[in-house]
Structure 1
Amino acid sequence: MKDVGILVLGHGSSLPYNKELVESLAQMIGKNHPGPVRTAYLNMNQPTIPEGLNSFAETNVSRIVALPLFLAHGVHTRQDIPQEMGIDPSKRRGLLKVGGRDVEVICAEPLGVDECIAALACKRAEEALG
């Protein structure tokens, strides 16, 4: 999987902790993934999605997985993100030129329903109780 890059996608926000959170999660993902991990944002933050894709130009990746840090599908995951990436939203994957070569880009599913998320939600509820 060293030839697979992961582009962690955040929504973006004017609040600085949002970007810090996405960057921190990307670092954690990088500890478990042997290939390069980068970040990009749909709105308000840098790098943009096209800039994030281009950040893989100096790597040897043949595929990039765009990983949206969104809980569920919506207009951003179904339309906006694929369009920003320059791929067909109905297919959610495509070939792009990155660093002068063809690289397959694949949109991952949102985080969705998962036992890990349910456990984290319970943990947060317990923390709120002190």
Structure 2
Amino acid sequence: MVAVVLVGHGSRLPYSRQVVEKIAEYVEEMGDFETVEVGFMELCEPTVQEAVKKAAESGVDKIVVVPVFLAHGVHTKRDIPKMLGLEPEWDDDEDDHDHHHHHHRDYTPVDVDAEIVYAEPLGADPRIAEIVIDRIKEALGEE
């Protein structure tokens, strides 16, 4: 059995959280997963670790963690892997120390019995280009 955890960045604006939660609803409806949870890097609850623990409570063998980010960055290469107890792909020495976020984050690795599988961010995908074209048409009033 497989559970999914979608990871959003988090924001003070409620809409940011709602978008990730709505995507999770779609994944739950369209996929065949035991459970789909959401967690956030910062500024929102639940945390990444809390979401993974909740997913593990469903008794799954694997938890696939998907960063709902367009591209890799410090969060997807360093922060989220640390939270998952995985080896980060970003060395702290590479950090430019000018990162604009200074929010407190708990990097304590989550401890669950299930295997954690870390997926890629959304990336460049023709399906995203279709959405961009839809947004352009909407902006031009050509819906």
Q: Percent identity?
A: 42
How big is the shift at 1:58?
2.4
CA RMSD of aligned residues (A): 1.2
Unaligned runs of 5+ in 1: 91-95
Match of 2:92 in 1: none
Letter in 2 for 1:123: D
Q: Tell me, in whole angstroms, the C-alpha distance in 1 between the residues paired with 2:7 and 2:83.
A: 11
Match of 1:115 in 2: 126
Match of 1:84 in 2: 83
How big is the shift at 1:11?
0.1
Match of 1:126 in 2: 137
Unaligned runs of 5+ in 2: 90-109
TM-score, reference length from structure 2: 0.80
Is this contact kept in 1: 2:5–2:55, CA < 8 A? no
Q: Tell me, in whole angstroms, the C-alpha distance in 2 between the residues paired with 1:37 and 1:13.
A: 20
Match of 2:29 in 1: 31
- Paired residue secondary structure (1:55): helix
Matches within 5 A, 1:1-130: 3-35=1-33, 36-90=35-89, 97-98=111-112, 102-130=113-141
Structure with more strand by fraction: 1
Q: Tell me, in whole angstroms, the C-alpha distance in 2 between the residues paired with 1:106 and 1:61.
A: 12
How big is the shift at 1:97?
3.9
Structure whose alpha-carbon radius of gyration is higher: 2
Deviations 1:47-87 (A, max 9, x none): 00110111023212101111111001111100000111222
TM-score, reference length from structure 1: 0.88
Q: Tell me, in whole angstroms, the C-alpha distance in 1 between the residues paired with 2:44 and 2:120.
A: 22
- Paired residue secondary structure (1:7): strand
Q: How many residues align?
A: 120
Letter in 1 for 2:12: S
Which structure 1 residue ranges, 4+ long, deviate > 6 Å from structure 2? none
Letter in 2 for 1:17: Y
- Paired residue secondary structure (2:122): coil
